Chains A and B, each alone.
Chain A
Amino acid sequence: MSNPFNWLKNWQTRSRIVPSTSPPDPAHTAAAQINDDLTRNVVETGWKWWAVLLFFAAVAGLGVLVVCDQFYEGIGIFGNRRPEYWALPIINFVFWAGVALSGTMISAILRLVHAGWRRELTRMTETLTLCALAVAGLFPLQHLGRNWVFFWLLPYPNERQLWPSYRSPLLWDASAISVYLATSFMFWYAGLLPDFAVLRDRTVGWRHQLYSYLCLGWRGSDKEWKRLRALSGIMTVLIIPVFVSLHTIVGWDFGMSIVPGWHSSIFAPYFVCGALYSGCGAVLIIMCLVRAAFHLQKYILPKHFDNIGKILFSISLLWFYFFAGDAWSDWFTNDPNHVAWLRFMFTGYRWILATIMFFGIVVPFVALSFQKVRTSPWPMLFVGLSVNIAMYTERITVVIPPAARDWLTWGDYTPTWEDVAVSAAAVGLFGFLYTLLTKFVPIVSLWEHKEGLMTEGEELTGSAHLQVVVREEAIS
């Protein structure tokens, strides 16, 4: 009987360079196949990719036209009217910032807890973060009115010695977004180095030149791997507080005011939780689309959908707990202002609340209770969509009703077609950026996938082969 731990002993052999005279090593062949499969999206360009890119570019272009119109006509082209100063631009900002949050978070937290199944998802979720954050960052600028002086938000030296007010949420947002964008980019880029080196070695012409620059001379020495691991560990720990702080600050934009409906101590964790919720939904959508578009069925498995589904299920319960707790405490304290706001929301916005409950609680709760649904990509795509519909609607209830109170009366808000066009353009811009990046980076990490294969094996116990894994702490 063969030693069941042979797979472990072969570990070192697999990482050595196999001389060309030796017979083909199955492990080496498998690695070559992985390289072929996972770099195909970069080296091969079909008409479908161009069609998708142009479609998203056209939708995003509509938004560019509207923003150009805003430069000419002023902010009055949007539906923001007193007392609704924030309205759709800030709803979009909060929504996209939330979507951006989960990408790197999933990657970082799963790394921290050594979840082996993360390896195939990290790259696509981190890319999701970068694209969504780039979209989110545009909305505070759009909302400024005089967009061309956006740099006044930044604490740059100037002749009048004017500095931005540190009490302004705009400054908080600018700081949080820029820090998160920078750290997410570093996190993403560091993990790409070994894959860029593979692309450098497998491409010619301008691509070879490009990846030679991008891989920063990576050649896979022991020292380089050690440094990458150390950097990855540090970044993983650092990025978690950064991502929590980003959405905490977004939550505080509202929670620190004394407006009934916003002034609530739970707003920051509630926003973080809501962001995780919508972000996990977006991850499901991206997983499903990328899997189908790049034929990655061998790599993105039902277990990935299953696990993300379980995470989504837990977050949905937590989100509901915070949501209900906030409403409940407003009601219980019986403060006239809070009660008036609650009454306003539960009458005028009852259908929106019903939409949130249906798409945000009922659909995920029912669908994710069944393993068959959790392991099926296309149903999970609809669950992801459902969650994001709910969360977008929830952002509406967060931003619009509390601001509608003008102290003498209640205001009203109706978006213009320009508002809708810019919101649609955000989806287009996100799709455009993501599609473009899939042309330059392997959307599933090659080295992490191979590393995962080396730590898994089977052990014969009795008459059954059981799946075993090497604990990841042993590697690092």
Chain B
Amino acid sequence: MFQHRNIIKSPRDMALDYAANQPIRMVLEPPSAARLVKLRIASFVCAIFILVAGAVIWLWGYPSQKNNPGFWHVTLVSLLFWLSVTQGMFALSCLTRIGHGSWRYPMNRLLDISSLYGVWVLLLLPLLVECRHRIYALGSSETSDTIWRIAGPLAWDCVAIGTAYIAGWALLFLTSLPDFAILRDRADPGSKAHRLYLRLSMGWHGAEVQWRALRRAEGVLVVSIIVSFVASQTVLGWDFQLAAARDWDSSIFAPLYTVGSLLGGAALSVLVMTAVNRFIQAADFMTLRQYDNLGRVMIALGLVWFYFRWCDYLTAWYGRLPSEWAVQNNRVTAFPVLAVIMVVGCFAVPVFGNMIRKFRTTRIGSCAISIFVLIGLAVQRYLDTVPTFAPNYPLSALKPTLPTLIIFAGLAAMFILTYLIAARYIPIISWWGIGKEGTRSAERPFGNGKVTVMMSDPPVWET
């Protein structure tokens, strides 16, 4: 199923490599009639979902749901879930850059595009807050009317989430410059595409000084994104947990959220990689290495997730402080099925499933594992937030309902539509990344077998 790509030794090899140029052709050449129909249908369906979800929020949600805590909490949990996993995707992309993993090149762009989802999120957040601003009052009567105060969690959320996404966009744009330049050079002079990429490429002509500047900027942005990613997940963890359950001091919550976000990011990356690989039929960009390594990443993150979760639970169980134990116990006794799904999805499946090499290195196996992980994480977000937020409401008021599920589906449709739109204008796989990967590693015959040799890859800031 998986093929190893040919070694690329020169720019000429790169220019002649049919597969490597597929993402460039996808942008410049019009799709076939059949594919165009498929794309239009997919976009239309996504748009319908988004519009219905928007209508539910705007027309049905407010003001009739003003006093329904379940509706708003589940809706916010949905938003937070998508926000976490998309941030996890481009944070993972940055972490692979920092760790100079040579397997990262084909997937970096793909993962970075997830930052564009932030456009939707930043538009949605004020809408939701406006509809139910008291959710950010966090039980403190003094703050309920001044939601924009500087010390309020809303301000932290906006700053942290916004910084992470804006840094993500900057990284996506800057690392796309060489590809925009290729598009500019290959587009028909005078055409719309030529004019567009002439502007977007910002005069890129591949000089050494430009490459140096690009690498330096990439290094700075990668570090900034990781810092802002950790900050935003930490803030989300804090404002949705520490503040929500008064008298409960679970300091592990911020790292638990951060690790969960990375785990979800890895799982969603597998799904996106597989979908894109299927869509770009001519090229097998995502090889065994990407699936294998993402599987290993999920094993590590699943173990850390369980470790944090277990510490959280055990501290409350052993201490038996009434307020603390009530919150922990409520999750397990009131939602036993969901608690099991959470542990299976976030721990058992990613760890034990990925330990089996056959699952980890096949598309079906790794996609199945990833879907379980995403379900587990969504349930975790629900369990950690909703019952804790509104302990005095009956369970029936907190259960996800059809409108909340529609909103969740609308957010998923936004994610898909983001990729559909982005793929129209940006090479979805980095052209120069593919070239770089090809020049860096190759298989060499040795005796009866083959060994993979690779060049040692210095960190981004030293290249």
Contact = CB atoms under 8 A, between A and B. Distances in A.
Interface in B308-323: 308, 311-312, 314-316, 318-321
B453 A269 contact: no
Contact of B251 (A252, A325, A459): A325
Given A8-B453, A266-B252, A332 B311 contact: no
| Range, interface on chain B | 35 or more
A9 B253 CA distance: 53
A333 B248 contact: yes
A268 B230 contact: no
Interface of A: 5, 8-9, 11-12, 244, 248, 252, 255-258, 263-269, 321-322, 325-326, 328-330, 332-335, 338, 371, 459, 461, 466-471, 473-475
A469 B311 contact: no
> 9 closest A-B pairs (Cβ-Cβ)?
A329-B251, A474-B451, A266-B251, A265-B252, A265-B315, A256-B318, A266-B252, A333-B249, A471-B452
A469 B453 contact: yes
A236 B242 CA distance: 37
B454 A469 contact: yes
Contacts of B314: 252, 256
B242 A8 contact: no
Nearest to A471: B452
B255 A325 contact: yes
Contacts of B234: 321, 325
A150 to B, nearest CB: 25
Contact of B247 (A11, A330, A335): A335
19 contacts: A255-B311, A256-B315, A263-B319, A263-B321, A265-B250, A265-B251, A266-B251, A321-B234, A321-B255, A325-B254, A333-B249, A338-B249, A371-B462, A459-B453, A459-B455, A466-B455, A471-B452, A471-B453, A473-B452
Interface in B244-262: 246-255
B319 A257 contact: yes
Contacts of B170: none
Contacts of B449: 474
Could you tell me the dominant secondary structure of chain A's interface residues?
Answer: helix
B279 interface: no
Interface of B: 9, 230, 234, 238, 242-243, 246-255, 307-308, 311-312, 314-316, 318-321, 439, 441, 444, 446-447, 449-456, 462
Given A468-B455, A468-B456, A469-B453, A12 B447 contact: yes
Nearest to B319: A258
A471 B454 contact: yes
Which of A9, A321, A329, A475 counts the most chain B CB atoms within 10 A? Answer: A329
Given A266-B255, A333-B247, A474 B311 contact: no
B315 A263 contact: yes
Which of A264, A265, A333, A475 counts the most chain B CB atoms within 10 A? Answer: A265
Contact of A326 (B251, B307, B316): B251
A178 to B, nearest CB: 22
A267 B447 CA distance: 52
B244 to A, nearest CB: 11
B76 to A, nearest CB: 20
Contacts of B450: 474
Contacts of B321: 258, 263
Contact of B307 (A244, A328, A332): A244
Given A264-B315, A265-B311, A325-B234, A470 B453 contact: yes
A474 B255 contact: no
A311 to B, nearest CB: 11
Contact of A264 (B238, B251, B452, B454): B251
A365 to B, nearest CB: 13
Which of A5, A469, A471 counts the most chain B CB atoms within 10 A? Answer: A471
A212 B16 CA distance: 61
Given A265-B250, A265-B252, A321-B234, 11 more contacts: A248-B311, A256-B319, A263-B319, A264-B251, A325-B251, A328-B251, A330-B251, A333-B248, A335-B249, A471-B451, A471-B454
